[in-house]
Amino acid sequence: MKVKLAYYISELRRDFVKECSRKLQEDDLTPGLLYPVLYIGRHPGCSPKELTEALHMDWGLTQRTLDRLVASHLISREKNPLDRRRFSLNLTK
């Protein structure tokens, strides 16, 4: 019985991941880009550093992810008028 249950759980997970990936592709997203988008949506105006720490990403991965999301017009990266080195992240409409 355990083998059958494990098999069905594995198949359900595979089908779920496949369907989620298909739905995400409609919005030019991948499963890896979903979490940064969700974090920025829940924390508008956050900084890239906050995103990096919250999602336990390294700095290079964060920058590549943000570049890809900006290029896809899913987020905006705006400079802080008081400190040109700081950015705030927001979702686009």
**10-residue block means of pLDDT along the chain (93 residues)?**
82 92 85 91 95 95 94 91 88 92
Model pLDDT, residue 68: 93
Answer whether residue 10 is part of any domain: no
Range of the domain at 47: 28-91
Model pLDDT, residue 55: 95
Model pLDDT, residue 60: 95
Model pLDDT, residue 69: 93
Whichever domain contains 78, its CATH number is: 1.10.10.10
Model pLDDT, residue 1: 57
Torsion of CA 20, 64, 89, 37, to 10 degrees: 10
d(CA 23, CA 16) in angstroms, rounded, equals 11
Query: In a 3-state reduction of DSSP, which class is residue 85?
Result: coil
Q: Which residues does residue 79 pair with via DSSP β-bridges, in sequence order?
A: 87
DSSP labels, 16-45: HHHHHHHHHHTTT--HHHHHHHHHHHHSTT
